[in-house]
Every structure is written in C-alpha cells, then in structure tokens.
C-alpha cells in the first residue's frame, strides 16, 4: 500500500500513528456536504480536497491504521430507510474497543477505548441516533467489522468515486440490536436532545 502513496500523503499518514491523532486530523477537515452531487472520495482525494463525510473519513482512518500495521476495520451502523447509515472505524487498545468517526454534529462521534465488545461499542450510539424532526430512534443494527484489506489497495489513491466499495459496505448483512418485542417501547429523544443535535461543527 505504501508504494502507491506520494511524498505528501506518506508524510501525513506517518504522523497519524495513533487513533487520537487520526481523529484530531479528521476534525481539521471540513465536512463534505456534497454541494456538487454525491461523492465517495478516496483517501487521496480526501487529503487533497481537505474535506470528508462519514464513509470518506472512515476509509481514510482505516488506511491510517493500516499504514501503521494495525487492522483497518470499519463498521456500518444500519438505520431505517428514512435516515442515513453511519460508518465508524474501529480500533482496539489493551483489549478494549474504541471508534474513530467523522460527523458534522455533536453526536455519533469518537469513542474512547473502554468497550469490551463490538456490541457494547455500537450500543453507545443507540440513544444518539434519532430523527431531528420527531426524535424517533432509527438505529437497527450493525455489521461485523469489515477489513478494508479485502478491497485491495488501488482504491486508496483512486481519482474516481468509490461507489463499488460503498455498495459492498452498505449491503453487508447486519446484526440486529432491537428486540422485536421491544420495538414499540422505545422513547423518542426529548426536545432538548433534538435541539442540541442541530449544532453543526462546519456551517
């Protein structure tokens, strides 16, 4: 993978040698609001354009982990059809899981490595995942960790959108988290929660 990178890319990734540094770098990137149409930028294009949305940030974070010989694992948080999935990059420290995340809001963000299982980590997002207009919770389940190495290496420096990889990620089967008998027992997010979720990092 390293042989595909140019000098600037190598220098940037070389400095992103911990999950915290990776998250700090993602936070410096403006949020990609796709003003000219939907995108799925490669890590090279994210670095060049200095912007990313969740899957673009997750792919770059995975490559940064991979660059430092760590497993490049991502998870798709699957939601109802009237909401948007969210992709996180998973890492592990001393046996505990955490997550790197690119988002434009004050929810669905970075997670410290304090979760003993992937399910514990995912469930930390459950109460944050709701529709702003009515507070309905939408998180249905999650994929098992997807290793980015399965997609090869050419996509990392591609100048084209990575729609083929995006489709494979979104089509991966999920593990459901809401018991059937409890689906009608979920409480909507409160007014203060929905109001605060409107806070945007990048206008």
190 C-beta neighbours (distance < 10 Å), count? 11
pLDDT for 59: 98
- Check if the beta carbon of residue 174 is closer than 8 Å to that of residue 140: yes
> Over its length of 203 residues, how does the chain's per-residue pLDDT go in tens digits?
889 999 999 999 999 999 999 999 999 999 999 999 999 999 999 999 999 999 999 999 999 999 999 999 999 999 999 999 999 999 999 999 999 999 999 999 999 999 999 999 999 999 999 999 999 999 999 999 999 999 999 999 999 999 999 999 999 999 999 999 999 999 999 999 999 988 999 98
- Angstrom distance (rounded) from CA 183 to CA 186: 6
How far lies 178's CA from each of 63, 134, 140, 175, in Å?
A: 32, 19, 6, 10
- Domain 2-196 is of which CATH architecture? Roll (3.10)
Angle in degrees, 0-180, between the axes of helices 54-67 and 19-28, rounded to the nearest 10: 140
Give me the pLDDT at residue 1, please: 87
pLDDT at residue 27, rounded to an integer: 98
Domain map of the chain by residue range?
Answer: 2-196
Helix (H, G, I), strand (E, B) or coil at 125: coil
pTM over 0.95: yes
């Amino acid at each position: 993978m390293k042989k595909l990178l140019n000098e600037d890319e190598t220098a940037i990734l070389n400095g992103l040698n911990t999950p915290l540094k990776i998250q700090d770098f993602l936070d410096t990137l403006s949020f990609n609001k796709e003003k000219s149409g939907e995108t799925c930028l490669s890590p090279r294009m994210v670095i060049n354009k200095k912007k990313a949305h969740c899957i673009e940030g997750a792919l770059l974070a995975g490559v940064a982990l991979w660059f430092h010989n760590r497993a490049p694992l991502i998870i798709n948080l699957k939601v109802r059809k009237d909401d948007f999935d969210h992709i996180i990059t998973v890492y592990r420290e001393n046996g505990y899981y955490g997550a790197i995340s690119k988002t434009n809001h004050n929810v669905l963000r970075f997670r410290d490595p304090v979760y003993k299982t992937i399910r514990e980590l995912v469930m930390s997002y459950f109460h944050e995942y709701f529709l702003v207009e009515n507070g309905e919770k939408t998180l249905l389940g999650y994929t098992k960790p997807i290793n980015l190495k399965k997609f090869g290496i050419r996509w990392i420096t591609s100048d084209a959108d990575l729609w083929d990889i995006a489709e494979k990620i979104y089509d991966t089967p999920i593990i459901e988290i809401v018991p059937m008998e409890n689906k009608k027992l979920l409480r909507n997010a409160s007014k203060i929660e929905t109001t605060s979720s409107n806070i945007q990092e990048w206008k």
